Structure 1
Amino acid sequence: MPELPEVETVRKGLEKLVLNKTIESVEILWPRIIESPEVPIFSTLLKGQRFEKFERRGKFLIFKLTDYDLISHLRMEGKYEYFESDPIVDKHTHVIFHFTDGSQLNYHDVRKFGRMTLVDKDQSAAYKGIMQLGPEPKPELFLLEAFEQGLKRSKKAIKPLLLDQKLVTGLGNIYVDEALWQAKIHPEQPADSLMPTEVDVLHEAIIDVLERAVEAGGTTIRTYLNALGEAGKFQMSLNVYGQTGNPCGRCGTPIVKIKVAQRGTHFCPQCQKLHVRSNK
């Protein structure tokens, strides 16, 4: 599933490929991809619109058009494919943007879970899914004190709490596992039981892991490619995700996989012990 680093890489790719291109027409081959407005209106409104800028908020892509913001969420396997000529359209191609110069951008989604929404210009921040997001995982936005207060208010296990996007946005299954390993915190440790030193280390680990993943172009699991048709390279730096049975890079203990909140979860049972603590 594309997480923040993969979505950021897609954003950069689209910026290189289709910035300033003008839409001639839009084909909708799977109407459920479009949340709003209704498909005929969606297609009509996009005619003549120019891609002026590409932004990202959490895992949402925001295409800044002449008169509108187009919000796109890739969900599990959505991706964009750009063609100068000789486009490939298969059964998994669901939306096609035809440009006035003859090139086109296809939205491809094997599972059909992705969604697009068209809103008025500069109104993407008021979109419900975006309004609920926590801060971006950048030092100047993701503040330690607010993070610590948020953890103290929850008795949930730390992994599902980080996955819900409200304390900090952009973390998915891969990067939560990696950040928790780096911080030496068990994925089932209750959030309100973390010690101040652990919170500090986890805060730094989240920022570090996501920064490094963005620099590496994300993580390629199975066959996920970015908008440039390139694979990310962060999978070569994974310490626990997908490493079941391999020795921990710190202590040599085999990495184990369990289910936490219905998600496959990887950790080191020696480095990441579950601590029983009284309420502080």
Structure 2
Amino acid sequence: MPELPEVETIRRTLAVHITDLRIKDISLKWPSAVSGWRDKDFKELVLGRQILALDRRGKYLLIHLDEEITLIAHMRMTGRLNYYPEPKEPDKHTHVVLTLERGEVHFSDVRKFGRIQAIPTSLCIQESSLSKLGPEPLDPQFTANMLRDRLAKKKVNIKGALLDQHVLAGLGNIYADESLFRAGISPQRPANSLTDEEIKHLHRAIQAVLQAGIDARGTSFRDYRDANGEKGQFEQALQVYGRGGHPCRICGETLERLRLAGRTTVYCPKCQK
């Protein structure tokens, strides 16, 4: 699933191509991939609109249009948004094609979990799935004290707490594992048991790992690609994620694998006490 660094990379690579362009046509190969707002359908809200800017909130991509309409795109597990400078025949997994004044944007999704919602811009934060998201971990206002307060009442393991988008927006399995490793914290620790010093280490680790992920243009194992169809490079920097059974690159201990919060988790039993 695209996490914060992947969605931010999609935002940046897509914005270069489509900002200021107008949407001339919409082809819905699988209409359930989109939704409108109340009594207005998706095409009615979107067709003919100009793309003003692209933003991101957690794992969601926001495409702001004129006439106060915003598209909220959530890639879920296997969704992609690709830009093509020339008309391209949609493949079998392409569900939406936006024809622009110059080029096309294809929304594809092998598993059909991803969605694009059209909603009035003034309501997109309050009356959509964005309304319950936690703070942005790379926001300058996100402090170690804020993280401490959000974890204080969480009795679940810290891995599960970090995956909770109500606690913090944008982290998924990859960057939660990597952040906990960098902070030297066991993923099994109860979230509310972390000391103030550990919270500071974790806060710094989360920000450093996410920024490194953005700088490397995301992590590509299988499905993720940016808007140009290119892979991210952060896989080369992974310390623990996907490396269960291999030696720790810091201490040489065998990395252990277990299941927490319904997700496979990898950690070093020596580095992460």
- Coarse TM-score class (shorter-chain normalised): over 0.9
Q: Check the 8 A contact 1:62/1:124 in 2, yes or no.
A: no
Aligned to 2:21: 21
- The amino acid that maps onto 2:229 is G
Distance 1:86 1:15 in 2: 18
Distance 1:230 1:191 in 2: 36
Unpaired runs of 5+ residues, structure 1, are: 274-280
Q: How does 1:176-255 map to 2 (within 5 A)?
A: 176-255=176-255
| SS of residue in 2 equivalent to 1:64 | strand
Distance 2:128 2:43 in 1: 22
Distance 1:158 1:59 in 2: 20
Aligned to 2:76: 75
| TM norm structure 2 | 0.95
TM superposition outliers: structure 1 runs of 4+ over 6 Å: none
Using the TM superposition, name which of 39-48 and 223-232 deviates more: 39-48
Distance 2:138 2:255 in 1: 29
Give how far 1:38 is off: 7.5
Q: Check the 8 A contact 1:24/1:47 in 2, yes or no.
A: yes
Give how far 1:223 is off: 4.1
| SS of residue in 2 equivalent to 1:106 | strand
Give how far 1:215 is off: 0.9
Give how far 1:83 is off: 1.7
Give how far 1:86 is off: 4.1
Is 1:113 the counterpart of 2:93? The answer is: no
Give how far 1:161 is off: 0.8
| SS of residue in 1 equivalent to 2:119 | strand
Partner deviation per Cα, 1:36-65 (whole Å, 9 max, x = no partner): 337982112212101110000101111010
Q: Check the 8 A contact 1:220/1:231 in 2, yes or no.
A: yes
Partner deviation per Cα, 1:189-248 (whole Å, 9 max, x = no partner): 001111111111011100110011111101111242110111111111000001122211
Q: Check the 8 A contact 1:69/1:123 in 2, yes or no.
A: no
Q: What is the identity percentage for the equivalent residue pairs of Structure 1 and Structure 2?
A: 39
| TM norm structure 1 | 0.93
Distance 2:109 2:37 in 1: 20
- The amino acid that maps onto 1:91 is K
Distance 1:180 1:121 in 2: 36
Q: Check the 8 A contact 2:36/2:45 in 1, yes or no.
A: no
Distance 2:101 2:149 in 1: 51
- The amino acid that maps onto 2:90 is V
Q: Check the 8 A contact 2:78/2:223 in 1, yes or no.
A: no
- The amino acid that maps onto 1:26 is I
Q: CA RMSD in A?
A: 1.6
Aligned to 2:93: 92
Give how far 1:88 is off: 3.1
Distance 1:149 1:45 in 2: 40
Unpaired runs of 5+ residues, structure 2, are: none
Aligned to 2:163: 163
Using the TM superposition, name which of 114-123 and 55-64 deviates more: 114-123
Partner deviation per Cα, 1:86-108 (whole Å, 9 max, x = no partner): 4031110000101234x211101
| SS of residue in 1 equivalent to 2:72 | strand
Aligned to 1:277: none
Give how far 1:128 is off: 3.0
- The amino acid that maps onto 2:125 is A
| SS of residue in 2 equivalent to 1:186 | coil
Q: Check the 8 A contact 1:24/1:48 in 2, yes or no.
A: yes
Partner deviation per Cα, 1:234-270 (whole Å, 9 max, x = no partner): 1110000011222112211011211112101010111
Distance 1:121 1:225 in 2: 27
Q: Check the 8 A contact 2:87/2:104 in 1, yes or no.
A: no
